[in-house]
């Protein structure tokens, strides 16, 4: 199980998503290409800040995914409890060669 931690890079990544969303809102004709951000992880039971980061991810995803103005260009997905089984479903191996 991949645990979510309070690292600066995760918050900067969320800020990058917000900036991209803001640019698309300001200029609907702007073509940044289609992008789906997939975020995954799990908070340790007593790790309050990690739980807040996950809550922030959900709130950002809710705003972006419900906005029809950017729906064809931007999506945010959070995969909860990301572990080996879920990873295998999303990133299958190439198989025997």
Overall pTM > 0.85: no
Chain position carrying tokens 């917000």 = 18
The tens digit of pLDDT for each residue in 18-51 reads 999 999 999 989 999 999 999 988 888 888 998 8
Which band of pLDDT confidence, cut at 50, 70 and 90, is reported for residue 62?
Answer: very high
- What is the Cα–Cα distance from 10 to 33, expressed in whole angstroms? 22
Tokens standing for residue 84: 């080996």
Q: What is the mean pLDDT of the chain?
A: 84
Residues in the chain: 97
pLDDT of residue 9: 82
Tokens standing for residue 18: 């917000």
Helix, strand, or coil (residue 60): helix
């Amino acid at each position: 199980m991949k645990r979510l931690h309070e690292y600066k890079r995760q918050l900067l990544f969320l800020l990058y998503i917000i900036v991209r969303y803001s640019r698309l809102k300001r200029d609907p004709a702007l073509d940044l290409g289609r992008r789906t951000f997939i975020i995954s992880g799990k908070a340790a039971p007593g790790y309050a800040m990690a739980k807040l980061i996950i809550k922030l991810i959900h709130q950002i995803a809710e705003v972006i995914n419900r906005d029809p103005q950017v729906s064809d260009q931007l999506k945010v997905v959070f995969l909860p409890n990301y572990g080996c089984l879920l990873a295998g479903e999303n990133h299958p191996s190439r198989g025997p060669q």
